[in-house]
Homo-oligomer: A and B are copies of this chain.
């Protein structure tokens, strides 16, 4: 299992737009084969930290996701709403 934490920093006045965009991405992604979990979270102390926490059966499934029509179409749309680049980590479980 592969876990991904993809942290995003939307502009304070664009949080709602980003969440709206995320809905379409989440709906399409959850239908993908190999997608175990794909959820969006908001930091309780910093509302302009929106983070995807994802689980994939393997790296191939994650790579297929990042090459998918919905991912390659929607991700660029986030650009104008963001304060700075995101922070992405791809993990495997240790304990």
Contact = CB atoms under 8 A, between A and B. Distances in A.
Contact of A94 (B3, B50, B93): B50
A3 B92 contact: no
A39 interface: yes
Interface of A is mostly: strand
30 contacts: A3-B41, A3-B53, A5-B51, A5-B53, A7-B89, A19-B94, A19-B95, A22-B94, A23-B95, A39-B93, A39-B95, A40-B93, A40-B94, A41-B91, A41-B92, A41-B94, A42-B91, A42-B92, A42-B94, A43-B89, A43-B91, A44-B59, A44-B90, A44-B91, A44-B92, A45-B90, A46-B89, A49-B89, A50-B94, A53-B53
